[in-house]
Amino acid sequence: MSQSNAAAIAPQSSFGLRVQIENVSRNYGAVAAVADVSIDVAAGEFVSLLGPSGSGKTTLLMMLAGFEHPDAGTIRVGDRDVTNLAPNKRDIAMVFQRYALFPHMSVAENIAFPLVMRKVGRADRERRVMQALETVKLSGYGDRKPSELSGGQQQRVALARAIVFDPPVILMDEPLGALDKKLRQHMQFELKQLQQRLGATVIYVTHDQEEALTMSDRVAVMSQGRLMQLGSPRELYDRPNDAFVADFLGEMNFLPGTVRESDAQGCIVDVAGGIAHAGLPVRGGRPAPGDRVRVAVRPEAITVVPSGSADAANDARRGSVSGVLSQLVFNGATIVLLIERPDGSVIQACMNPQHEQPGLTVGQPVTASWSRDAAAIFAGDA
């Protein structure tokens, strides 16, 4: 089925509603599962809650769904305060990680269940179920049982059940977590396309950084119950305002050192095996000479050349460190280089195989360098 045909038969959403999370907190005894979190999600926006286990993202989603209640704060959907409403009064759909399909019901009966609960007439139910099956590309599967479907097909049934009553807001709790990597990547694009066609507001919980960056309009990074940063995927990746965010999203090298010079444009930092030029940190103001800091550089921003070469001499005028190339690994899309520095620490660089530098061999001295704009500085050593 073509995308244009899918759009033609998709349920006609009344478009998403704005979701406002205002100073929401939830405590379990002395543990703050969610601590004073505020997020404003625009109507029709796809926002992911991203963080490690125990960061509070699922607790926050359960409060949005109404299965948990905040100890403080307000939750609004559209123009309604839903903070204390029961889940069935919120007009919100939920897709769980394990799909939560009824094993004794057929696919069609599973999808129709929300309509039965809303007392929708039989003819209208059947029409909507057919539309939902078409939308998730499962036409002809209505009479099967969930046990007769693959994991990806069961996930589609769970999605169809979520969209069949035309909800303005859909909550998803790691719905792709049980799928293998290739199918998960395929479903990421399908989910995003479906959300765009429906116009629904989606709030999506995941611990998978790549998944959040691929699918989201904005990402809310959480740690220990707190919102660390909220922004577009590119903004979070390129301009993290916190060392946790920088480290959690993708690969990041942290080089501890001492500030030698500091001006309005950035800093020069003495690090083991070299000198680091970097832009100023987003938080904390300008470091002073003598301050201990960490220089953060993405592996893809690093150029590696044999030490003593003309390129190395030129690169030395940028941020650079010396070391020994300890590993060179081809993994398909990139070549990963591990460089052992004089202090025993290792930094990682990566390059496109088509742009591989000639003459690089394991065991040789190399120079790794980067531009000032490619690095950021965060306070402290830890």
Q: What is the residue-averaged pLDDT of the chain?
A: 86
d(CA 55, CA 203): 16
pLDDT band at 312 (very low <50, low <70, confident <90, very high): low
Q: How remote is the C-alpha of 48 from its chain's centroid?
A: 6
What are the tokens at 199? 């116009």
Residues 174, 233 share a domain: yes
Among candidate residues 190, 193, 184, 249, the one with its CA nearest the CA of residue 221: 249
Q: Which amino acid is at 136?
A: V
Query: pLDDT > 70: what percent of the chain?
Result: 91
d(CA 192, CA 159): 12
Where among 203, 218, 244 does a domain terminate?
Answer: 244
Where among 244, 278, 308 does a domain terminate?
Answer: 244
Residues 144, 47 share a domain: yes
Residues 283, 231 share a domain: no
Q: How many domains does the chain have?
A: 2
Residues 160, 21 share a domain: yes
Q: What is the DSSP letter of 163?
A: H
Residues 119, 55 share a domain: yes
Residues 234, 277 share a domain: no
Cβ-contact 375, 319 below 8 angstroms = yes
Other Cβ atoms less than 10 A from the Cβ of 5: the count is 10
Residues 213, 77 share a domain: yes
Tell how many helices (H) and how many strands (E) occur in the chain: 10, 20
pLDDT of 2 > 80? The answer is no
pLDDT of 314 > 60? The answer is no
pLDDT at res. 280? 67
pLDDT of 163 > 80? The answer is yes
Least confident span in 59-68, 197-206, 354-363:
354-363
Residues 97, 16 share a domain: yes
Other Cβ atoms less than 10 A from the Cβ of 271: the count is 21
The verdict on pTM exceeding 0.75 is yes
The model's pLDDT over 38-66, given as tens digits with 9 standing for 90+, comes to 999 999 999 999 999 999 999 999 999 99
CATH number assigned to the domain comprising residue 224: 3.40.50.300
CATH number assigned to the domain comprising residue 269: 2.40.50.100
Contacts of 179 (CB under 8 A, 6+ apart): 151, 152, 155, 187
Phi then psi for residue 215, to 5 deg, are -100, -25
Phi and psi based region of residue 363 (left: phi greater than 0; alpha: psi -120 to 50; beta: remaining): left
Residue-number span of the structural domain to which 303 is assigned: 253-379
Where among 244, 275, 290 does a domain terminate?
Answer: 244
Residues 282, 193 share a domain: no
Residues 24, 160 share a domain: yes
Residues 221, 349 share a domain: no
Residues 169, 59 share a domain: yes
Name the E strands within the chain: 19-28, 31-41, 46-50, 72-77, 80-81, 92-95, 169-173, 201-206, 218-223, 226-231, 253-262, 267-271, 274-278, 292-297, 303-306, 319-330, 335-340, 346-351, 365-370, 375-379
